[in-house]
Amino acid sequence: MPSAKPFAKVLLDADDEARLNELCEQSRLSRSEVFRRLLHNLPLPSQQTFQGWDAITEMMKVNADLARLGNLQRMALAETDAPDLTAALHALIADLSTRQAELKDLAVVLRDTLQPRRTPSA
């Protein structure tokens, strides 16, 4: 079903169309959304913003891999009786937990940089 919203028709020359397509590609937005944001004087997303969010996604994937590795270590710990191996596994599990916490903290800092929290106005 077509939208009942009013639409605008814009005639562009080849250079303007190329620039619009470039903006759409850079911002990963549709033409309509680019026009809407420009009309309301809203910023277009930057390439660094996308790279930041992609980095957070990758950090969370690594964090999940560390969690799986830690679970495998715990399973190995449950099946072993050797005291020296048990101590080594405990140390490895503690190190994995530390790395997970560091990754989470870094992701939170990066997220707060990309998307600052709004403070309530007084």
Q: Is the dihedral of CA 50, 51, 55, 57 positive or negative?
A: positive
Helices (H), 28-82: 31-39, 47-79
Q: Are residues 57 and 107 in the same domain?
A: yes
Report pLDDT digits (tens) over 19-69.
Answer: 999 999 988 899 999 999 999 999 888 888 889 999 999 999 999 999 999
Q: Are residues 54 and 78 in the same domain?
A: yes
Domain limits for position 71: 47-114
The total domain count for the chain is 2
In a domain, 108, yes or no: yes
Distance, CA of 54 to CA of 42 (rounded, Å): 22
In a domain, 88, yes or no: yes
Report pLDDT digits (tens) over 92-106.
Answer: 999 999 999 999 999
Contact of 86 with 80, CB cutoff 8 Å: yes
- Across 104-121, average pLDDT: 83
- Total residues belonging to the chain: 122
Q: What is the residue whose two structure tokens read 């020359």?
A: 13
In a domain, 78, yes or no: yes
Helices (H), 80-120: 83-114
Q: How confident is the model at residue 121 (pLDDT cuts 50, 70, 90)?
A: low
